[in-house]
Amino acid sequence: MSADRITRMTSCPTKSSEHEIQQADFELRKLEDGRWRLRAKTRHGLYWMKSADLHHDDGELHFSLMKANDFLRRARQHGLKTEYIGPIGRSLL
């Protein structure tokens, strides 16, 4: 992460930096059958999925745990955020 980006995230939030901090590009949750469902929540997330050549149905993918972890790693490397919805609450990754 660049020093400029860190400074923007820690200074007084503006509309754009509030969006960066609080808005998740994706939502990840575990399904009853053991798979993981990932949905694009923002237009930016949807465009990234398309540019990464991920085949999806209307911005939604189903993964194994290993593939979900790989997706999260790649998304974070590109500055995208994911909201994990688990049994005890929500986390922004």
The pLDDT tens digits of the residues spanning 25-47 come to: 999 998 888 889 999 999 998 88
DSSP symbol at 12: S
pTM over 0.75: no
pLDDT at residue number 41: 92
pLDDT at residue number 22: 67
Burial degree of 39 (CB within 10 A; 0-12, 13-18, 19+)? middle
Question: What is the three-class DSSP state of 57?
Answer: strand
4 or 62: which leads in pLDDT: 62
Question: What is the three-class DSSP state of 26?
Answer: strand
pLDDT tens digits, residue range 63-90?
888 988 998 899 999 999 999 888 788 8
Domain parsing of the chain, residue ranges? 23-92
